[in-house]
Amino acid sequence: MGDLTDRIRMTLIQMIPFIGAIVFHEVGHAYIAKRHGDNTAKDLGRLTLNPIPHIDPVGTLLFPMLNMITGIPLMFGWAKPVPINYNKLKPYRRALFLVSVAGPVANVLLAFVAAFCFVAIALFVPHDFYLFEPLFAMSQAAIQINFMLALFNLIPLPPLDGSRMLESFMTLEQSRSLVFSYCWRFFGRGR
């Protein structure tokens, strides 16, 4: 019973930082896309910090529950990706890079805010305050989750942000060749 209680407690402590991390990540993409000519996410109500439009049933609900059941120490999952019409981005290559890097940058910035909160809680909140331990643990989880999400998304494999960032430096032929080689490696093996 104690093990299950610890898992539920860990999930509850990590859930708010996790939701914040994935929402800020997607809003970062949507905001930069809007600044470079694509209003698709804004028009669909996705340029918001309200987590409800960003919830993906599998990535935002099922994966965190699996984390709790299996006892994985750091919450993992994703939000529903914001829709971006890459044809509307101007100037295309620069905007493609900036839109792609915006999500990881938003997570790094949020991690630094969480680190500031972590230090402020440690220094200024009395240790006998009844919310000290959950706030301290939540800020620590926010640092870890945001840095992990930023680094993971920099991997240059589709559909991660790193692949779009890499694509922004390629010619159209190189980009098509890269996508073809990924598809061939993923679907073509063993046939």
pLDDT given for residue 36 in this prediction: 97
Q: What is the pLDDT of residues 94-119, one digit of tens each?
A: 999 999 999 999 999 999 999 999 99
Chain-wide mean pLDDT for the chain?
89
Give a three-class secondary structure readout of the chain. Answer: CHHHHHHHHHHHHHHHHHHHHHHHHHHHHHHHHHHCCCCHHHHCCCCCCCCHHHCCHHHHHHHHHHHHHHCCCCCCCCCCCCCCCHHHCCCHHHHHHHHHHHHHHHHHHHHHHHHHHHHHHHHHCCCCCCCHHHHHHHHHHHHHHHHHHHHHHCCCCCCCHHHHHHHCCCCHHHHHHHHHHHHHHHHCCCC
Compute how many other C-beta atoms are within 10 angstroms of the C-beta atom of residue 30. 26
Q: Is the pLDDT of residue 124 over 70?
A: yes
Q: What is the pLDDT of residues 136-173, one digit of tens each?
A: 999 999 999 999 999 999 998 888 999 899 888 877 67
* Among 129, 127, 101, residue whose Cα is nearest residue 25: 101
- Categorize the per-residue pLDDT at 4 as very low, low, confident or very high, splitting at 50, 70 and 90: confident
Our answer to whether residue 133 is catalytic in this structure is no
pLDDT given for residue 190 in this prediction: 45
Weakest mean pLDDT among 2-6, 81-85, 89-93: 2-6
Residue 59 phi/psi, 5-degree rounding, is -75, -30
Answer with the residue of higher pLDDT: 187 or 151: 151
Answer with the residue of higher pLDDT: 6 or 34: 34
Which is the catalytic residue, given 26, 133, 167, 173? 26
